[in-house]
Copies of this chain bind each other. A is one copy, B any other.
Amino acid sequence: MSELYSKAETLELRRRHIGPSCKVFFAKDPIKIVRAQGQYMYDENGEKYLDCINNVAHVGHSHPDVIKAAVKQMELLNTNSRFLHDNLVQYAKRLTATLPEKLSICYFVNSGSEANDLALRLARQYRGHQDVITLDHAYHGHVSSLIDISPYKFNQLGKEGKKEFVHVAPSPDIYRGKYREDHPDPASAYADDVKKIIEDAEKNGRKIAAFIAESMQSCGGQIIPPAGYFQKVAEYVHKAGGIFIADEVQVGFGRVGKHFWGFQLQGKDFVPDIVTMGKPIGNGHPMSCVVTTREIAEAFGASGLEYFNTFGGNPVSCAIGLAVLDVIEKEDLQGNAIRVGNYLTELLNKQKEKHPLIGDVRGIGLFVGVDLVKDQQKRTPATAEAQHIIYKLKEQRILLSADGPHRNILKFKPPMCFTMEDAKLVVDQIDELLTALEEATGARTGNGRSSTAQHKRKVCFLFGVLKKGVGETCTNDFSEGIA
């Protein structure tokens, strides 16, 4: 654990040698982490942080079983998938066994971005269509083709950001979206919007290759689409000759608890045509996967173009993938996600009754969002407040993030070994912080009695106090799924 550089030197070297587009958490006072175990991370002074955000460290940081599997395989062999190897086929067999039967063909790649890009290639090859329907606020990865279909990114590029072949459907957010919890059938209403997009595109001579969506939107603000939405969308997309891509990069591998995959929340009658996986798949090891149907895989093969991925599906990655599946099962992490997730949501719902700043609590398993609002009626996003809470939690050695289009959603996606005690600790701290914030701003449960101007002034005062410690607290440090 001996440090090579002081924190100041590390920062200076980072400024000198790392692209300025690569941001750190808590920009004005970043954290140097030197060790992590389970749901805890430790800085260079041995300070212990409770990690509520690293969904990549899925079965817990530095899990011994995963390391053991990696080392064992590294000592034997690490080479490409042009040689036959049992790990590759065994892992494909195990992974597809978690999915509906028709999803039987795997392509192993190295990152969620590579997975989503390949999914688009598969979709476009399938019928020769080019257009893609994506959800508003979606983020699907950092390679060129995915920036193109990520409004979360291309909206920042101004008018020219959106390409002609991209169609943006409203995010099926029943708290803040177009059709809300008071709508008689938001699933159908949101799906009808997709239908309309398809009709308009076809009128313009365009052809839909795919509809892509995270099974639950993560950067988009922890959105859980109403059940039945995906089925209807799939129906319309299939009719147009397109396919349905479920992006499980952030939410897959049992995080939702009662299912292994997020899309399964929609019901047994829904099966996507492609599922992409990433982040948690290797507990931090760079690996990823695309699973699809034989029909789509064969259409891709029919082009004659070989697909080769140098590192994808190597024996070490597959050994790690297998170990992660084993640990999820052995430690009943899905069960834990249900139990702790339910408890966390329950605690947060109690806070909602108490705090006017909490507009909505939504979640399933260990995927939970708390939508902070300045005004319960208008649902005005409480962005600065969310950032304030994140920074204060950090001072108290709790790592949480805020995301969504307004950066006002507190976002929980901790390692799956997160405990009841951890949940209690973080909610108690949030309770205290919200209480202090509400006292400072004079907010009350109900109709947000303080005026917006008053509110703004008071929060800024609070930030002024804070600034001594953390500098420019309102800076947005959080994005792209963080972990």
Contacts and interface: CB of A to CB of B under 8 A. Distances in A.
Given A82-B24, A481-B310, A110 B110 contact: yes
A107 B89 CA distance: 33
Contact of A35 (B21, B34, B77, B301): B77
A480 B118 CA distance: 16
B286 A82 contact: no
A110 B114 contact: yes
Interface residues of A, number: 107
Given A10-B86, A30-B83, A104-B17, A113 B112 contact: no
A440 interface: no
A462 to B, nearest CB: 25
A143 B145 contact: yes
Interface string A370-407: 00000000000000000000000000000000000000
Interface in A13-30: 13-14, 16-25, 30
A92 interface: yes
Contacts of A104: 16-17
Contact of A18 (B35, B86, B89): B89
Interface string A305-336: 11111111110110000000000000000000
Given A31-B83, A92-B13, A110-B286, A19 B307 contact: yes
B278 A310 contact: yes
Nearest to A3: B86
A78 interface: yes
A316 B441 CA distance: 45
A84 interface: yes
Interface string A1-16: 1011101001101101
Contacts of A306: 21-23, 479-480
Given A34-B85, A309-B142, A310-B483, A301 B78 contact: no
A77 B62 contact: yes
26 contacts: A7-B84, A16-B93, A18-B88, A19-B297, A20-B298, A22-B307, A22-B313, A23-B82, A33-B83, A34-B77, A54-B79, A56-B310, A57-B78, A62-B77, A62-B78, A67-B75, A70-B70, A70-B74, A71-B71, A111-B309, A113-B309, A114-B114, A156-B305, A157-B305, A285-B286, A286-B314
